Protein backbone atom coordinates (compact mmCIF):
# COMPACT_ATOMS: atom_id res chain seq x y z
CA UNK A 1 0.00 0.00 0.00
CA UNK A 2 3.02 2.25 -0.19
CA UNK A 3 2.02 5.51 -1.87
CA UNK A 4 -1.70 4.65 -1.78
CA UNK A 5 -2.98 7.53 0.35
CA UNK A 6 -6.68 6.96 -0.34
CA UNK A 7 -6.37 3.24 0.28
CA UNK A 8 -4.50 3.79 3.54
CA UNK A 9 -7.11 6.30 4.71
CA UNK A 10 -9.91 3.85 3.93
CA UNK A 11 -8.08 1.05 5.73
CA UNK A 12 -7.63 3.18 8.86
CA UNK A 13 -11.31 4.19 8.77
CA UNK A 14 -12.55 0.63 8.28
CA UNK A 15 -10.45 -0.82 11.09
CA UNK A 16 -10.96 1.96 13.64
CA UNK A 17 -12.61 0.91 16.89
CA UNK A 18 -16.15 2.31 17.06
CA UNK A 19 -16.99 4.53 20.03
CA UNK A 20 -20.58 4.85 21.19
CA UNK A 21 -20.63 8.63 21.60
CA UNK A 22 -23.68 9.91 19.75
CA UNK A 23 -24.74 12.73 22.11
CA UNK A 24 -23.69 15.26 19.46
CA UNK A 25 -25.25 13.33 16.58
CA UNK A 26 -24.15 10.62 14.17
CA UNK A 27 -24.11 6.85 14.56
CA UNK A 28 -22.01 4.26 16.35
CA UNK A 29 -20.02 3.76 13.14
CA UNK A 30 -19.47 7.45 12.39
CA UNK A 31 -20.37 10.14 14.94
CA UNK A 32 -19.56 13.79 15.55
CA UNK A 33 -17.26 13.20 18.52
CA UNK A 34 -14.93 10.37 17.44
CA UNK A 35 -15.59 10.27 13.69
CA UNK A 36 -14.85 6.75 12.47
CA UNK A 37 -13.64 5.81 15.97
CA UNK A 38 -10.33 5.31 17.76
CA UNK A 39 -7.37 4.45 15.55
CA UNK A 40 -6.58 0.73 15.81
CA UNK A 41 -3.07 0.32 14.42
CA UNK A 42 -2.92 -3.42 15.08
CA UNK A 43 -6.19 -4.05 13.22
CA UNK A 44 -5.07 -1.84 10.35
CA UNK A 45 -1.76 -3.69 9.94
CA UNK A 46 -3.56 -7.03 10.22
CA UNK A 47 -6.02 -6.06 7.47
CA UNK A 48 -3.39 -4.59 5.16
CA UNK A 49 -2.55 -6.66 2.06
CA UNK A 50 0.48 -8.95 2.43
CA UNK A 51 2.67 -10.65 -0.10
CA UNK A 52 2.00 -10.14 -3.81
CA UNK A 53 -0.57 -7.43 -4.43
CA UNK A 54 -2.60 -6.45 -7.42
CA UNK A 55 -5.21 -3.92 -8.42
CA UNK A 56 -8.93 -4.19 -9.09
CA UNK A 57 -10.25 -1.31 -11.15
CA UNK A 58 -13.29 -0.48 -13.23
CA UNK A 59 -16.49 1.53 -13.35
CA UNK A 60 -19.99 1.35 -11.92
CA UNK A 61 -22.55 2.52 -14.48
CA UNK A 62 -26.27 2.95 -14.99
CA UNK A 63 -27.47 -0.07 -16.97
CA UNK A 64 -29.98 2.02 -18.93
CA UNK A 65 -27.82 5.00 -19.87
CA UNK A 66 -24.25 3.81 -19.47
CA UNK A 67 -23.44 6.89 -17.40
CA UNK A 68 -21.09 6.50 -14.47
CA UNK A 69 -22.64 6.37 -10.99
CA UNK A 70 -20.85 8.61 -8.52
CA UNK A 71 -20.78 7.65 -4.86
CA UNK A 72 -21.35 3.91 -5.40
CA UNK A 73 -19.66 1.51 -2.97
CA UNK A 74 -17.49 -1.34 -4.25
CA UNK A 75 -16.60 -4.00 -1.66
CA UNK A 76 -14.13 -6.83 -2.28
CA UNK A 77 -14.17 -9.80 0.12
CA UNK A 78 -11.51 -12.51 0.03
CA UNK A 79 -7.97 -12.82 1.39
CA UNK A 80 -8.57 -9.25 2.60
CA UNK A 81 -11.61 -7.00 2.60
CA UNK A 82 -11.49 -3.55 1.07
CA UNK A 83 -14.04 -0.93 0.12
CA UNK A 84 -13.85 1.91 -2.38
CA UNK A 85 -16.23 4.70 -3.39
CA UNK A 86 -16.63 5.61 -7.06
CA UNK A 87 -15.67 9.04 -8.34
CA UNK A 88 -17.76 11.42 -10.42
CA UNK A 89 -17.31 9.27 -13.53
CA UNK A 90 -18.17 6.04 -11.70
CA UNK A 91 -14.58 4.77 -11.65
CA UNK A 92 -12.91 3.02 -8.73
CA UNK A 93 -9.55 1.44 -7.85
CA UNK A 94 -8.86 -1.12 -5.12
CA UNK A 95 -5.35 -2.39 -4.21
CA UNK A 96 -5.76 -5.99 -3.03
CA UNK A 97 -3.66 -8.93 -1.97
CA UNK A 98 -3.44 -11.55 -4.72
CA UNK A 99 -6.23 -14.10 -4.53
CA UNK A 100 -9.85 -14.76 -5.39
CA UNK A 101 -12.56 -12.34 -4.33
CA UNK A 102 -16.29 -11.72 -4.28
CA UNK A 103 -16.94 -8.13 -5.36
CA UNK A 104 -20.20 -6.23 -4.80
CA UNK A 105 -21.19 -2.84 -6.20
CA UNK A 106 -24.06 -1.00 -4.52
CA UNK A 107 -25.79 2.37 -4.42
CA UNK A 108 -28.88 3.56 -2.55
CA UNK A 109 -30.84 4.20 -5.78
CA UNK A 110 -29.87 0.99 -7.59
CA UNK A 111 -30.06 -2.78 -7.27
CA UNK A 112 -26.72 -4.18 -6.12
CA UNK A 113 -24.61 -6.39 -8.38
CA UNK A 114 -22.14 -9.07 -7.27
CA UNK A 115 -19.34 -10.82 -9.13
CA UNK A 116 -17.81 -14.01 -7.70
CA UNK A 117 -14.51 -15.66 -8.49
CA UNK A 118 -12.74 -12.39 -9.33
CA UNK A 119 -9.03 -13.27 -9.49
CA UNK A 120 -6.49 -10.64 -8.49
CA UNK A 121 -2.91 -11.14 -9.69
CA UNK A 122 0.19 -9.04 -9.24
CA UNK A 123 0.16 -8.14 -12.92
CA UNK A 124 -1.76 -7.09 -14.97
CA UNK A 125 -4.53 -5.19 -13.11
CA UNK A 126 -7.93 -6.87 -13.01
CA UNK A 127 -10.81 -4.92 -14.54
CA UNK A 128 -14.43 -5.35 -13.50
CA UNK A 129 -17.33 -3.09 -14.54
CA UNK A 130 -20.75 -3.21 -12.94
CA UNK A 131 -23.95 -2.07 -14.67
CA UNK A 132 -26.65 -1.42 -12.06
CA UNK A 133 -30.38 -1.22 -12.71
CA UNK A 134 -32.14 1.71 -11.11
CA UNK A 135 -34.74 1.07 -8.42
CA UNK A 136 -38.28 2.46 -8.86
CA UNK A 137 -38.50 5.91 -7.33
CA UNK A 138 -41.28 8.05 -5.96
CA UNK A 139 -41.78 11.36 -4.21
CA UNK A 140 -41.80 11.74 -0.45
CA UNK A 141 -43.43 14.89 0.86
CA UNK A 142 -43.90 16.21 4.35
CA UNK A 143 -42.81 18.88 6.75
CA UNK A 144 -39.96 19.19 9.21
CA UNK A 145 -41.15 20.68 12.49
CA UNK A 146 -39.66 21.53 15.84
CA UNK A 147 -40.37 18.85 18.44
CA UNK A 148 -41.03 21.41 21.16
CA UNK A 149 -43.58 23.52 19.25
CA UNK A 150 -44.78 21.45 16.31
CA UNK A 151 -44.13 24.45 14.07
CA UNK A 152 -41.89 24.51 10.97
CA UNK A 153 -38.21 25.13 11.66
CA UNK A 154 -37.46 28.83 11.62
CA UNK A 155 -34.73 31.31 12.48
CA UNK A 156 -35.29 34.10 14.98
CA UNK A 157 -33.74 37.39 13.92
CA UNK A 158 -33.12 40.33 16.19
CA UNK A 159 -30.60 42.39 18.17
CA UNK A 160 -27.89 40.32 19.84
CA UNK A 161 -27.77 37.63 17.19
CA UNK A 162 -24.34 38.63 15.86
CA UNK A 163 -22.84 38.30 19.31
CA UNK A 164 -24.06 34.73 19.82
CA UNK A 165 -22.67 31.29 18.99
CA UNK A 166 -25.38 28.76 18.14
CA UNK A 167 -25.81 25.09 17.35
CA UNK A 168 -27.51 23.86 14.16
CA UNK A 169 -31.03 24.74 15.34
CA UNK A 170 -30.12 28.18 16.73
CA UNK A 171 -29.74 27.31 20.39
CA UNK A 172 -27.06 29.51 22.01
CA UNK A 173 -24.18 27.32 23.17
CA UNK A 174 -23.56 29.31 26.35
CA UNK A 175 -27.17 28.76 27.43
CA UNK A 176 -26.96 25.06 26.58
CA UNK A 177 -23.83 24.80 28.72
CA UNK A 178 -25.65 26.44 31.61
CA UNK A 179 -28.61 24.09 31.15
CA UNK A 180 -26.96 20.70 30.59
CA UNK A 181 -23.19 21.00 30.95
CA UNK A 182 -20.63 19.72 28.45
CA UNK A 183 -22.96 17.27 26.70
CA UNK A 184 -26.23 18.37 25.12
CA UNK A 185 -29.23 16.38 26.30
CA UNK A 186 -31.96 15.55 23.81
CA UNK A 187 -34.95 17.88 23.68
CA UNK A 188 -33.52 20.93 25.44
CA UNK A 189 -35.43 24.10 24.53
CA UNK A 190 -33.55 27.39 24.84
CA UNK A 191 -34.57 30.78 23.46
CA UNK A 192 -32.37 31.78 20.55
CA UNK A 193 -32.30 35.42 21.67
CA UNK A 194 -32.76 37.01 25.06
CA UNK A 195 -36.38 37.93 25.73
CA UNK A 196 -35.46 40.33 28.56
CA UNK A 197 -32.58 42.42 27.21
CA UNK A 198 -33.57 45.93 26.13
CA UNK A 199 -31.78 47.44 23.16
CA UNK A 200 -31.55 51.12 22.19
CA UNK A 201 -33.48 51.92 19.04
CA UNK A 202 -33.44 55.03 16.88
CA UNK A 203 -35.95 54.99 13.99
CA UNK A 204 -34.57 55.91 10.60
CA UNK A 205 -37.59 58.14 9.91
CA UNK A 206 -40.46 59.44 12.04
CA UNK A 207 -43.55 61.59 11.82
CA UNK A 208 -42.66 65.18 10.99
CA UNK A 209 -39.40 64.40 9.16
CA UNK A 210 -38.74 66.07 5.82
CA UNK A 211 -37.60 63.35 3.40
CA UNK A 212 -36.78 62.70 -0.23
CA UNK A 213 -37.94 59.63 -2.15
CA UNK A 214 -36.27 57.51 -4.83
CA UNK A 215 -38.15 59.48 -7.50
CA UNK A 216 -36.91 62.82 -6.16
CA UNK A 217 -40.09 63.90 -4.38
CA UNK A 218 -39.71 66.03 -1.26
CA UNK A 219 -42.29 65.92 1.48
CA UNK A 220 -43.11 65.81 5.16
CA UNK A 221 -44.08 62.55 6.84
CA UNK A 222 -47.62 62.86 8.15
CA UNK A 223 -47.99 59.23 9.22
CA UNK A 224 -46.21 55.91 8.66
CA UNK A 225 -46.37 52.20 9.39
CA UNK A 226 -44.18 49.19 8.65
CA UNK A 227 -44.95 49.24 4.91
CA UNK A 228 -45.86 52.74 3.75
CA UNK A 229 -45.34 56.41 4.45
CA UNK A 230 -47.88 59.20 3.95
CA UNK A 231 -46.16 62.34 2.64
CA UNK A 232 -47.39 65.91 2.35
CA UNK A 233 -45.67 67.18 -0.79
CA UNK A 234 -47.63 70.42 -1.20
CA UNK A 235 -50.48 72.27 0.46
CA UNK A 236 -53.46 69.90 0.61
CA UNK A 237 -51.56 67.28 -1.43
CA UNK A 238 -50.68 63.95 0.20
CA UNK A 239 -49.35 60.77 -1.32
CA UNK A 240 -48.53 57.30 0.00
CA UNK A 241 -45.21 55.66 -0.91
CA UNK A 242 -43.53 52.44 0.10
CA UNK A 243 -41.35 52.94 3.14
CA UNK A 244 -38.38 51.47 1.28
CA UNK A 245 -38.67 54.28 -1.30
CA UNK A 246 -37.69 56.92 1.26
CA UNK A 247 -34.02 57.62 0.58
CA UNK A 248 -33.02 59.99 3.36
CA UNK A 249 -34.08 62.67 5.78
CA UNK A 250 -33.55 66.19 4.45
CA UNK A 251 -31.70 68.69 6.62
CA UNK A 252 -32.31 71.41 7.53
CA UNK A 253 -36.02 70.89 8.04
CA UNK A 254 -38.44 72.94 5.97
CA UNK A 255 -39.84 74.71 9.02
CA UNK A 256 -36.30 75.75 10.00
CA UNK A 257 -35.78 77.24 6.53
CA UNK A 258 -39.16 79.04 6.65
CA UNK A 259 -38.31 80.56 10.01
CA UNK A 260 -35.23 82.31 8.64
pLDDT for 44-70, tens place per residue? Answer: 888 777 778 889 999 999 999 999 999
Report yes or no on 96 lying in a domain.
Answer: yes
Using pLDDT thresholds of 50, 70 and 90, give the confidence band for residue 251: low
- In this structure, are 253 and 174 located in the same domain? no
Using pLDDT thresholds of 50, 70 and 90, give the confidence band for residue 254: very low
Domain of 228 in residue numbering reads as 210-258
- In this structure, are 24 and 85 located in the same domain? yes
What single-letter DSSP state applies at residue 245? Answer: G
Report yes or no on 201 lying in a domain.
Answer: no
Predicted TM-score (pTM) above 0.75: no
Question: CA-based angle 78:84:88, to the nearest 5?
Answer: 150
Predicted confidence (pLDDT) per residue in 102-129, tens digit: 999 999 999 999 999 999 998 889 999 9
Predicted confidence (pLDDT) per residue in 85-106, tens digit: 999 999 999 888 899 999 999 9
Is the pLDDT at 133 greater than 80? The verdict is yes
Secondary structure (3-state) at 135: coil
- In this structure, are 148 and 181 located in the same domain? yes
Q: How many residues does the chain have?
A: 260
Report yes or no on 200 lying in a domain.
Answer: no
- In this structure, are 71 and 152 located in the same domain? no
- In this structure, are 12 and 127 located in the same domain? yes
What single-letter DSSP state applies at residue 38? Answer: B
Predicted confidence (pLDDT) per residue in 163-194, tens digit: 888 887 888 888 888 888 877 777 788 888 88
* Rounded Cα distance, 218 and 212, in Å: 5
Report yes or no on 205 lying in a domain.
Answer: no
List the single range of 66-75, 133-142, 153-162, 209-218 with lowest mean pLDDT: 153-162
Amino acid sequence: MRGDINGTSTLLDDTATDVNATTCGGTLDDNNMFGEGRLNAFAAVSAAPRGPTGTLAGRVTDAATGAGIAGATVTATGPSQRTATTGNDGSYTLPLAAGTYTVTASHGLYNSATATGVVITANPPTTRTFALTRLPTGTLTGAVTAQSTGLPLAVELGPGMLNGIFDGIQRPLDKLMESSGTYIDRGIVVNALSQDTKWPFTPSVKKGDEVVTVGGLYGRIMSLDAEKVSLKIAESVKIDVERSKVVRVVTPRIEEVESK
